[in-house]
Structure 1
Amino acid sequence: METIRHFLSFLSPQLVDELLSKSTVKDIPKGTQIIREEQYIKVIPIIISGLVKVFSKFDEKELLLYYIQPQQSCIMSFSASLKNTPSKIFAITEEDSKILLIPVESLPKWLKEYTELNDLFYNQYDLRYTDLLDTIQHVLVDKMDKRLYEHLIRKAKLKHNSVIKITHGQIANELGTAREVISRVIKKLENEGKISQNTDGIKIL
């Protein structure tokens, strides 16, 4: 518990006490869906350790919107909870993660009493707005080889590992395209000497 208190030291001690008294801390395995599309949000996640990816679905195609890193939260679920509307996104743990789950019913009171909690979520709005603009630019402007290469580089940085254990199908889901397209582009990037792949995964060169 002291480790979590230290992690939340950017918040006031009084707010941390309230968060820990009413929230739940869970260890969630990699590949677990923590937010479902169309569900009503009951808890808001703050990532303590690990990594979570947030998707939206368009005409049965999935598209990765952004990652949630430690000391960050999911602004889309925050917005849905305040409006009491179904979630428009779904979120999956990219790695084994420890997550603080804040009960939605306590949020209005805490937002009124603690300005730093407002600051946290306003900062998340700004961060996600930038992320979404970047995603839109990549989809509308960039060719798939550039999109894929930059996606792999970003994923490697987030995981702190130049080797990424991922299938072509998983990449296709994240980029909202077909697995055959990803396989073709990965081969192109290999031929250009930008990446290599073997049984361990895809390595950024």
Structure 2
Amino acid sequence: MGWVEDAPDLATLDAITARRLNALVPMEVPAGTVLFSPGDAVKGYVIVLQGRVSVSLTGASGREMLLYAVTPGQSCIQSTLGLMGGEDYTAEAITDEDSRVVLLPKLLFLQLLDDSPSFRTLVFAAFAGRMQTMMHLLEKIAFQRVECRLAAHLLDRATPSGQLTGTHQELATAVGSAREVISRRLEAWSRRGWVKTTRGKVEIIDPVALKSIADEAM
């Protein structure tokens, strides 16, 4: 038994592939660790066993946008594209919380793609799912108003009690906007009694009002 058997999303792997993967040692990665940056060569395929990794893009103006988050069972499209196409990373990946990850070296990744149908199916299925997520992101950025994206993000990321930790800049990065825009939206919602903001935190007071905004047609 090894870490593969503890990962439900890898249950379809054949025994030989599972044995080869179990030879790799998982790494404990503290929150705030930079896993890769723009211009870095892709060294391997990352499997997240526990935790959450955010992958974001920074434009020439310095504005950041969250592309996607990698949680257990999900893939990093930047790594897959780099391994298969030879391109360097164009985004930055940072652990949002203490995480446990496994790095499949490039050579092993390519060998398993050739040798293991079950591994190949898993990788391509995860890649297709991530591509669909990216298409949804592009659709939102292109057609959905900022306040709709912000309301949806707050509702999605808040705790059951309505609490959300994050600076205005972090919220702006998550919804693909500017910090000043997010600050104005939150201030307006606070005056209406929909949210309460303190330093680095947002509390949702009226989730029904936010949901009505999040559900608005694009």
* Fold match by TM threshold 0.5: yes
Q: TM-score under structure 2 normalisation? A: 0.82
Q: Distance in 2 between matches of 1:121 and 1:189?
A: 42
Deviation sequence 1:17-64 (CA, Å, 0-9, x none): 10121x331111112111211110112111101111111233232211
Corresponding pairs, count:
202
Contact 2:27 2:100 in 1 (8 A): yes
Contact 1:51 1:68 in 2 (8 A): yes
Deviation at 1:143, TM superposition (A): 1.4
- Structure 2: 5+ residue runs without aligned partners? 208-218
Contact 1:43 1:102 in 2 (8 A): yes
Matched residue, 2:117: 115
Moved segments of 4+, more than 6 Å: none
Matched residue, 2:11: 9
- Structure 1: 5+ residue runs without aligned partners? none
Q: Distance in 1 between matches of 2:143 and 2:191?
A: 23
Contact 2:52 2:70 in 1 (8 A): yes
The letter for the 1-side match of 2:157 is: K
Matched residue, 1:34: 35
Matched residue SS, 1:24: coil
The letter for the 2-side match of 1:171 is: L
Deviation at 1:161, TM superposition (A): 7.1
Query: Which one has a bigger Cα radius of gyration?
Result: 2
In structure 2, the CA distance between the partners of 1:29 and 1:51, relative to structure 1 (3 Å rule), is: same
Whether 2:179 is the aligned partner of 1:183: answer: no
Matched residue, 2:75: 73
Q: TM-score under structure 1 normalisation? A: 0.87
Percent of aligned pairs with the same residue? Answer: 25
Q: Distance in 2 between matches of 1:171 and 1:199?
A: 13
Q: Distance in 2 between matches of 1:111 and 1:101?
A: 15
Q: Distance in 2 between matches of 1:99 and 1:31?
A: 14
Deviation at 1:164, TM superposition (A): 1.7
Superposition CA RMSD, Å: 2.2
Q: Distance in 2 between matches of 1:140 and 1:72?
A: 24
Q: Distance in 1 between matches of 2:173 and 2:30?
A: 20
Deviation sequence 1:123-181 (CA, Å, 0-9, x none): 1222122211221122111111111111222333xx77742211112112333332221
Matched residue, 1:90: 92
Matched residue SS, 2:68: strand
Contact 2:146 2:175 in 1 (8 A): no
Deviation at 1:194, TM superposition (A): 4.0
Matched residue SS, 1:86: coil
Matched residue SS, 1:85: coil
Q: Distance in 2 between matches of 1:79 and 1:16?
A: 23
Matched residue, 1:148: 150
Matched residue SS, 1:111: helix
The letter for the 1-side match of 2:118 is: E
The letter for the 2-side match of 1:86 is: D
Matched residue SS, 1:40: coil
Deviation at 1:3, TM superposition (A): 5.2
Matched residue, 2:46: 45
